[in-house]
Structure 1
Amino acid sequence: MIKFCFLHLVLPSKIYEKKICTQKLEQKFIEKNSIFSFKNKIFKKKKFFCMKSSEIPSNTVWEIDFFSRPVLNEDGKKLWELIVVDQKGTFEHIEAIPNNLINSRELKKRINALIEKSPQKPILIKFFRSQMFNMINIALSDLNINVRPSRRTFALFEKISEREENVYPKMSGYRPFMKEVDVNDMLKKVPQKMPDTLRGEKYVFASISIPELESMVNSGINFGQMCPLPKNFDFNQKIPGIVILSERAKSLSSWFDGIELFNIICDLETKNIMIECGLDTQYLFGKFSEETIQDRVNLEPKLFEKNKKKSQGVHFIAVQEYSKKKPIYGIWTLRV
């Protein structure tokens, strides 16, 4: 069996102790009435969702966006669109919605109709806009389908980018200044304390090539998920990441698999290492000292961010049992 941490990764000599505090778990899974909690926003599901990310067929994962576009209709009102794609890229549905029908009831009606006529029913539906949380929550709450707020909607991001570049500018009512800007992305957040359930004892910075990583995933990893790579990605480029070492790596991997991991940030100003997940959740994963940044040998946090830019935002997080003889239990590639 492949030993992930010690045979395939370029590792530093230093292993860091995590300095994190405890708090009540942000995301709860409760059988028969599962609840996602994101900053006091409650998202209910009818069924307990226990499938691993790697076990869900990509063509049964739908990614939806219901939002206005930078285009004015003939009546001077914004164009609203419902965009639905599957994770595999084999299914696509785009329709304009009249402004007087922008509500949860209409959204539910159209999603239901789409599911009914689709040859491949979705198992999981993801959405990424926190602004539309309440409307989507109400619209999808009665569906017998699992719904997950997530920024791991890569197929949807690509479709929106494609339309912003090639479709909307050709429309007569196009107004580039009306492009949506997420204010939350522009503000520096105060990270939440890491929940006990997501804590690991130690961590190391590491790097690995995509072919090596894919080989590991194909060899049989308990938990994890690969994200699609950017176009013209250099496969010789090693991607940076963090390996979490824990005595309870299996349970930790299971929890990571359910929180929709999105990004790792090494903030050189605050000396914080943060994990972003869900719609807008940011956890304080660890701290690093000023000496770590200035030391010529130990430049891991600074190099991590530098290498993340080189790899076009692609990086990873992995969980391994704290023993040289143990393989990893989970690995996820992330992309920002």
Structure 2
Amino acid sequence: MELPENLVGEKWAFVQLPFSAVQEEISSLDTNLVFGASLDLDLLGIEIDDKTLIPGLAVASSRAKPLAAWMNGLEVCSIEADLSRGRLILSVGISGRYIYATYNKTPETTSEAEAWEAAKKECGGLHFLAIQGDLDSDDCVGFWLLLDLPPPPV
């Protein structure tokens, strides 16, 4: 589906953070009143070293707080790169999927998207979505820890 207008960011970038920095962002969800959600990694049986780089998607918007608030109303599950079509797919809830962003398919962008997907696989599917006022900022107004999961058996 097409992404509702209120969920569109102005810029985005593939990024990576050490797991220790991801944990700091997760702790800010309660203490700094940041929008977002975490995962119970212990319950999921996921063990990650503090220095492991976790791939993510940083989204910048001049209306970052309203964007994060709207995003917080969704059950954000994962983001994946659709390499064949040059777009990012946002999975929400049980079966919702949105075209979250598009990019021009060039050898460079395809390589970057492939590397991002490979980094997710290296972390067992763990990745994140960060919403910021500016891509160069260290502050997030929204942070979601996400996990790629295989579809359930039928």
Are 2:18 and 1:209 aligned? yes
Unaligned runs of 5+ in 2: 149-154
CA separation in 2, counterparts of 1:232 and 1:215? 17
1:1-336 aligned within 5 A:
192-219=1-28, 220-229=32-41, 230-231=44-45, 233-235=47-49, 236-291=51-106, 294-295=107-108, 299-322=111-134, 324=136, 327-336=139-148
Q: Is the 8 A contact 2:83 2:114 kept in 1?
A: yes
| CA deviation after TM superposition for structure 1 residue 298, in Å | 7.4
Look at both structures and tell me which one has the larger radius of gyration over its CA atoms.
1
| CA deviation after TM superposition for structure 1 residue 202, in Å | 0.6
- Shift in CA distance, 324/311, structure 1 to aligned 2, threshold 3 Å: closer
- Shift in CA distance, 290/298, structure 1 to aligned 2, threshold 3 Å: closer
AA at the equivalent of 2:117: E
SS for the counterpart of 2:23 is helix
CA separation in 1, counterparts of 2:135 and 2:56? 19
CA offsets 1:111-156 (integer angstroms, 9 cap, x no match): xxxxxxxxxxxxxxxxxxxxxxxxxxxxxxxxxxxxxxxxxxxxxx
| CA deviation after TM superposition for structure 1 residue 218, in Å | 2.4
Aligned counterpart, 1:160:
none
Identity score, percent: 27
Q: Is the 8 A contact 1:221 1:328 kept in 2?
A: no
How many residues were matched structurally?
142
AA at the equivalent of 2:20: P
CA separation in 2, counterparts of 1:240 and 1:303? 10
TM-score by length of 1: 0.40
Q: Is the 8 A contact 2:83 2:110 kept in 1?
A: no
Q: Is the 8 A contact 1:264 1:276 kept in 2?
A: yes
CA separation in 2, counterparts of 1:197 and 1:321? 15
Q: Is the 8 A contact 1:268 1:302 kept in 2?
A: yes
CA offsets 1:170-225 (integer angstroms, 9 cap, x no match): xxxxxxxxxxxxxxxxxxxxxx1110110110101101122211113324252111
AA at the equivalent of 2:5: D
Unaligned runs of 5+ in 1: 1-191
- Shift in CA distance, 325/281, structure 1 to aligned 2, threshold 3 Å: closer
- Shift in CA distance, 308/197, structure 1 to aligned 2, threshold 3 Å: same
Q: CA RMSD in A?
A: 2.0
AA at the equivalent of 1:268: L
SS for the counterpart of 2:129 is strand
CA separation in 2, counterparts of 1:323 and 1:268? 23
Query: Which structure carries more relative contact order (alpha carbon 8 Å, separation 6+)?
Result: 2
CA separation in 1, counterparts of 2:103 and 2:96? 21
SS for the counterpart of 2:141 is strand
